[in-house]
Amino acid sequence: MSEPSHPYQVLDVFTDTPLAGNPLAVFTAGELIPSRLMQALARELNLSETVFLLPGDTEADATVRIFTPRAELPFAGHPVLGAAFVVGAERQLGRVRLRTGAGIVPVALTREHGAVVSGEMEQPLPSVRAFERAGELLAALGLAGAALPIEAYTNGPTHVMVALPEDVRLGMLEPDLAAIAKLGALGIDCFTRPEPGAGTPAGVPAYVRCRVFCPGLGVPEDPATGSAAGPLAWHLVRHGWRAPGTGVTIVQGVELGRPSELVARLEGSAARPERIVVGGRAVVVAAGSFRAA
């Protein structure tokens, strides 16, 4: 008897250029894959995340399970966006609702010439707290301090926001990844002050550069982190670096040779956020099948 064959697609997310952005594998018939194999397949592919699409229900078009090479996540941004591209393209939907471990996430899709080219997701509103091990984190990053309070946001995964001092260049960071991993299963989002610049998309008046380190999740550095983009937008508003309702383009992955662009905005107020929205583009770059028992 032959081994089962499990089809999947590979997308580059938060880019419209193949081999840029953040790669993602989407297994399109996840209900046929035993749970015991999902983590092993994610480890085998060794991408930042791998998604398994499962049947939906009366509230959601599909259910997603999301794995890093090391752990399952209740929510992550680029897997949800990429999965929505796949579901929307297969079913000719303009709006996709995905059930995640953090609740249902709606994704509005945009088409050009009939093809899905971009999407915008409404993310779960995160909780926020002061990060209690800020001193250890700064030492691991090789920084003497940060330009804003160091705070942790949880919207499924937990991301810690570190605003770089103006005299520190993002590309010069050489973090101690082993020390960061000891802080737990966290994403460490190091970013610059928002500024206007050439190449910023129309209607988005500012951009930030960032790098996100996730060694505790099995990802030393992530080229595009959708789950961190929403919390970063709120962090900028909470500390007066952006106004509510104004978008920010987040440029990430440059140091990895995989440049990515994420657009995020917070609606409501700093104290009472109503919606956090994150969007971007994606492109399918490969398809195949895995033979696994």
- Which residues are identified as catalytic? 49
CA angle 285–82–265, rounded 5-degree value: 125
Alpha-carbon 66 to chain mean position: 11
Q: Across-strand partners of 66?
A: 51, 73
- What is the distance of C-alpha 209 from the center of its chain? 15
The rounded distance, in Å, linking the Cα atoms of 72 and 64 is 11
Give how far Cα 83 sits from Cα of 21, 28, 109, 194, 235, Å.
15, 9, 12, 30, 27
Judge whether 137 and 55 are in contact, CB under 8 Å.
no
Q: How many other CB atoms are there within 10 angstroms of residue 270's CB atom? A: 16
